[in-house]
Amino acid sequence: MHPIELLRFAAGAIVAHPMRSALTSLGVVIGVAAVVVMTSIGLGAQQRVTSTIAGLGSDLIIVSPGASRGGGGFVQGAAGSGQSLTDADAEAIASQVENVAAVAPVVRGQAQLTADGANWNSRIEGVSPDYLIARDLTIATGRMFDDREARQGRKVVVIGQTVARELWGDLDPVGRRVRVRSVPFEVVGVLESKGQSSFGQDQDDVLLGPLEAVRSRIVGRRARGDTVQTIYVKAVDADSLDRVQEDTTNLLREQHRIRAGDDDDFQTQNMASILAASQAAIATFTVLLAAVAAVSLLVGGVGIMNIMLVAVTERTREIGLRMAVGAKRSDILIQFALESITLSLAGGLLGLLLGVLGAIGIAKLGSWPAAIPPWAGPVALGFSSLVGLVFGAYPSWRAARLDPIEALRRE
């Protein structure tokens, strides 16, 4: 028979039983939609983590204290709870480690802010002027405090967009005064907005002040002497990042007089390696999600095979009649294979549409990037066609193997 005639017969059989055709395709619809949605979620998570880590600063090394220890050397606190880093460590890194663009020691706290009748609780960070370079931050209005103001511990601050909005609304905060707890500070600058991180933290809800001023007047007893909680070290470029990390580690071991074989009392984290590890973990998780979702495609394929076997049984007399008037076994085989592939392909198209809409809906509900991979369409349609071909092969073979005389006798 002519291929056009075979297509016409296959389409006619599908249209003649719309409910059965819809139920046959349902498994493929669900399977394709699930694969697209799960893959989109995984890629969205990858983009979210990438943007968050990039927001910390590029070519960056984060040096933090190790766990606090009690008598006998036993660990008593979590990692980062110790007080092993000092201003001298930051100065040594800046002066002795090559290929360093900026070194920024930091102390942190939380405090109530009050200004012009408004109040707001915000994150306080005591930093050096190089903090902007290390963290890739820019000033929207005003300026950053300079080295002289930082050395003298002057009471000047730079604030994030959230703090500016909560305390002064649409007014320009530069030149105004804000009380941090009971200490008055002058606002000299406002940072450019960085938005919300993937962990839900508002990166604009921050107040930056000179390290010494914040440490002595705000953080107080939680930071003894000249200790700092973190040292940000920015390399001049990505190629020198590993070398800078190694040199920083060796220098701090010398500074802290750590003997060979003993554990470090600090930690160094390379943002590039953290990003690579995070992306690898999320990629594995995405593949796992897609594989689990793909199981429903196999279930849909089994459903297609079952319904097609039922169709062969119901249409036995029709098959016998067509063979009696000259149809070849290959014609019957191709017709039923086309029916199976068409049902599966239609399910794939509908599933792709529902998957894209579902991915966009989830992205909007959860403020999540709608990351739909470009290969989703071709792969979904190709795989659904393959499912129809594979699982329709046996029913098609059964139909083609029917004996015409026995088929005509069937009621």
Interval 236-279: pLDDT, tens: 888 888 899 899 999 999 999 988 888 888 998 887 776 676 66
Query: What is the CA 195 to chain-centroid distance, rounded?
Result: 16
Task: Classify the phi-psi angles of 114: left when phi > 0, otherwise alpha if psi is within -120 to 50, otherwise beta.
Answer: beta
State how far the Cα of 28 lies from the Cα of 30, in Å rounded to an integer: 5
Kindly state the tokens that stand for 153.
Answer: 């511990």
Kindly state the tokens that stand for 366.
Answer: 């959860």
Kindly state the tokens that stand for 319.
Answer: 């098959």
Residue 55 makes CB contacts below 8 A (sequence gap 6+) with: 194, 197, 203
Residue 201 makes CB contacts below 8 A (sequence gap 6+) with: none
pLDDT cut 90: percent of the chain above it: 29
Query: Which pLDDT score, from 0 to 100, does residue 77 have?
Result: 47
**Burial environment of residue 98 by CB neighbours within 10 A (0 to 12, 13 to 18, 19 or more):** exposed
Query: Mean pLDDT throughout 72-96?
Result: 71
State how far the Cα of 77 lies from the Cα of 338, in Å rounded to an integer: 67
CB distance 46 to 279 below 8 Å? yes
State how far the Cα of 34 lies from the Cα of 122, in Å rounded to an integer: 41
SS3 198: coil
What does the pLDDT look like over 397-411, one tens digit per residue?
Answer: 776 776 666 655 655
First-residue to last-residue Cα distance in the chain: 26
Query: Which pLDDT score, from 0 to 100, does residue 71 have?
Result: 45
Q: Band of the pLDDT at 138, cuts 50, 70, 90?
A: very high
CB distance 255 to 92 below 8 Å? yes
Q: Band of the pLDDT at 306, cuts 50, 70, 90?
A: confident
pTM exceeds 0.85, yes or no: no
Backbone angles phi, psi at 336, to 5 degrees: -70, -35
Q: Band of the pLDDT at 7, cuts 50, 70, 90?
A: low
Query: Mean pLDDT throughout 117-134?
Result: 92
> Is the predicted pLDDT of residue 5 greater than 70, yes or no?
no
**Burial environment of residue 262 by CB neighbours within 10 A (0 to 12, 13 to 18, 19 or more):** exposed
Query: Mean pLDDT throughout 169-188?
Result: 92
Residue 56 makes CB contacts below 8 A (sequence gap 6+) with: 62, 135, 271
> Is the predicted pLDDT of residue 206 greater than 90, yes or no?
yes
Query: Which pLDDT score, from 0 to 100, does residue 76 have?
Result: 47
Q: Band of the pLDDT at 365, cuts 50, 70, 90?
A: confident
Look over the chain and give the mean of its residue pLDDT values, rounded to a whole number: 79
State how far the Cα of 352 lies from the Cα of 26, in Å rounded to an integer: 12
CB distance 395 to 340 below 8 Å? yes
Strands 206-210 and 177-180 come out as unpaired
Query: Mean pLDDT throughout 303-308?
Result: 75
